[in-house]
């Protein structure tokens, strides 16, 4: 069935946005911590008609620390916590020092471009929310507005800055 209208989407980095950044690789479901406000922020965005797609680098796979099944297990736990609100998951299993360069790894935008094509996303109505400059760079390459989740006195590389996902969701909604 062809789409007549373009879809609006919020692309979300995982670690540091949807879950607490542990400073190391998250691959055990028992280590997953979803901060307060994440589920509420996702619900606000979904209610406003946004697709919610996770775009995450998972270099621990290239390093041999875990496999794709661990990434899917974490994603499933996030789905359970949020009422299955996330529409899709894209991840890059590469690391330049272990598996070579890949355009799927942020700051490149291949995964964003694949999702934009698959879901007929209108980049002009869509956003990238992440906690790293590379997330912002990937979002800009794909023509998205960006929100940088920052802590402390960090300098934002995004079009906007927010302290957490709930604040970022409110920025998105105030811009609609």
Active site residue 135: no
Average pLDDT over residues 169-174: 98
- Compute CA distances 91 → 57, 114, 133, 139, 156, whole Å: 6, 11, 17, 15, 24
Global pTM reads 0.94
pLDDT at 4: 52
Across the strands, what pairs with 160? 147
Average pLDDT over residues 134-151: 97
Whose tokens are 């940088």? That residue is 148
Q: Is residue 160 packed enough to be buried (19+ CB in 10 Å), middle (13-18) or exposed (0-12)? A: middle
Active site residue 88: no
| pLDDT per residue as tens digits for the range 76-131 | 999 999 999 999 999 999 887 888 888 899 999 999 999 999 999 999 999 999 99
Q: Quick one: pLDDT band at residue 38, thresholds 50, 70, 90?
A: very high
Beta strand spans in 19-96 (E): 51-57, 88-92
Catalytic annotation, pick one of 13, 108, 131, 164: 13
Domains of the chain: 9-174 (3.40.50.1000)
pLDDT at 3: 47
């Amino acid at each position: 069935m062809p789409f007549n209208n373009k879809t609006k989407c919020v692309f979300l980095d995982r670690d540091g946005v949807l879950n607490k950044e542990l400073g190391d690789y998250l691959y055990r479901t028992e280590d997953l911590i979803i901060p307060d406000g994440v589920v509420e922020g996702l619900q606000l965005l979904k209610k406003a008609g946004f697709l919610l797609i996770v775009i995450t680098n998972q270099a621990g796979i290239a390093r041999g620390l875990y496999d794709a099944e661990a990434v899917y297990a974490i994603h499933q736990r996030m789905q359970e916590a949020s009422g299955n609100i996330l529409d899709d998951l894209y991840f890059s299993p590469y690391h330049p020092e272990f598996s070579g360069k890949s355009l799927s790894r942020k700051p490149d935008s291949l995964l964003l471009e694949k999702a934009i094509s698959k879901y007929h996303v209108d980049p002009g109505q869509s956003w990238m929310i992440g906690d790293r400059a590379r997330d912002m760079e990937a979002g800009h390459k794909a023509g998205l507005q960006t929100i940088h989740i920052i802590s402390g006195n960090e300098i934002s590389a995004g079009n906007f800055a927010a302290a957490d996902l709930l604040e970022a969701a409110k920025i998105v909604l105030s811009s609609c």
